[in-house]
Amino acid sequence: MEASTAHAESHGHMPVANASVEFNREKLGMLLFIFSEVMLFASFFTAYFFIRVVQGGEWMPAGQELPVGVAFANSAILFSSSATMHWALEGVRHNNRKALKAGLVLTILLGATFLGVQISEYAHLGFLPKDSAQATAFFSLTGLHGTHVAVGLIILCVVARRAFKGHYGPEKDKHWGVEIPGIYWHFVDVMWFFVFTSLYLL
């Protein structure tokens, strides 16, 4: 940040803002962001609802069946990654750095496996998004979710890198860098429950 020298003399000290509630700003920001993410998913669920219920076409059309078994196993993989994420957070809270690192690495591996299986499922389905409105709903909801998994993985990679460099600690303000990506990751998992249930099971 070279610009810092140019503006150096204009720096008084920024007064510390009053904390009017005992709630971490970043955490509140993430929760609000998740609200808006839920609404983004809701808009695609609306499309799904109209295609499946209002239009009332067959779900899924003949020749476009979904591999429920594979998706079920894949769901188990993703849900277990929430547990490892929690393990990592508990690790850093109790100053157990081994648990922090192992938890993060496991979460990333499980998430990457989920994403890999999902992509391979796309390749083996035998139909494309343009083949029917049902396929459109399927690909857009799972694709939207997959994008969120990918973004979560990138964030977790950054967190893991910092964890291995020795950042984060058990003090209250030292591990929100693990906690907040964790909240996002849990959200991605919970969202998958709804995506999976409505697309594959119902």
Partner 1 sequence: MAVTLRSPGWYRAALSTLIGAAFGCGLVVGLRALFGWDEIVQAESIVSVVLITAPLGFLYGIGCFDYWIHWAAGRPTYVDDHSDHGARSWKDYFRVNTDHKVIGIQYVVTTFFFFFVGGLLAMTFRAELIEPGRQFIDAQTFNALFSAHAAFMIFTFMVPVFAGIANYVLPLMIGAPDMAFPRLNALSFWFLPVAGVLMMASFLAPGGAFATGWTAYAPLSDQAPMGQTFFAVAVQFAGASSIATAINFLVTIVTMRAPGMTFWRMPMLAWANFATSLLVVLATPFIAGSQFMILFDRALGMNFFDAVQGGDSVMYQHVFWFYSHPAVYIMVLPGFGIISEVISTHARKPIFGYRMMAFSLLAIVVLGFSVWAHHMFVASMQDWIRIPMMFTTMLIAVPTGVKIFSWLGTMWRGAIHLRVPMMWALGFITMFVLGGISGVMVAVVPFDIHVSDTYFIVAHFHYVLFGGSMFTIFAGIYHWFPKMTGRMLNDTLGKWHFWLTFIFFNLTFGPMHLVGLEGMPRRVADYASEFAAWNAIMSFASFALGLSTLIFVYNVIVSWRSGKPAESNPWRAQTLEWQISSPPPIFNFDEVPTVVGHPYEYGVPGARHGIFKHPEPLAAAKAPVPAGVGDDD
Q: Give the separation between CA 70 and CA 118, rounded to whole angstroms.
A: 9
13 binds partner 1 (CB under 8 A): yes
Cβ(170)–Cβ(92) below 8 Å: yes
Q: Helices 176-196 and 68-93 sit at what angle, rounded to 10 degrees?
A: 160
Of the residues 161, 170, 174, 201, which one makes contact with partner 1 according to CB under 8 A? 161
Query: How many H-runs (helices) and E-runs (strands) does the chain carry?
Result: 6, 0
Give min distance, CB of 80 to partner 1, in A.
26
Q: 138-143 long-range CB contacts below 8 Å, 24 or more apart?
A: 138/60, 138/66, 138/199, 140/44, 140/47, 141/41, 141/44, 141/45, 141/48, 141/195, 141/198, 141/199, 142/118, 142/195, 142/199
125 binds partner 1 (CB under 8 A): no
Of the residues 80, 113, 140, 198, which one makes contact with partner 1 according to CB under 8 A? 140
40 binds partner 1 (CB under 8 A): yes
Q: Before 30, cis peptide (omega within 30)? A: no
Binding piece for partner 1, criterion CB under 8 A, among 14-22, 89-97, 103-111, 187-195: 14-22
Number of residues located near partner 1, criterion CB under 8 A: 56
Binding piece for partner 1, criterion CB under 8 A, among 92-100, 102-110, 157-165, 181-189: 157-165
Q: Which is nearer to partner 1, 50 or 72 (CB)?
A: 50
Site string for partner 1, 43-72 (x = CB under 8 A): xx-xx--xx--xx-x---x-----------
Q: Give the separation between CA 62 and CA 192, rounded to whole angstroms.
A: 25
Of the residues 11, 98, 124, 172, which one makes contact with partner 1 according to CB under 8 A? 11
The three-point CA angle 113-26-28 to 5° equals 95
In a 3-state reduction of DSSP, which class is residue 64? Answer: coil
14 binds partner 1 (CB under 8 A): yes
Judged by the rule CB under 8 A, the positions of this chain that interact with partner 1 are 1-4, 6-8, 10-23, 25, 28-29, 32-33, 35-37, 39-40, 42-44, 46-47, 50-51, 54-55, 57, 61, 129-136, 139-140, 158, 161-162, 165
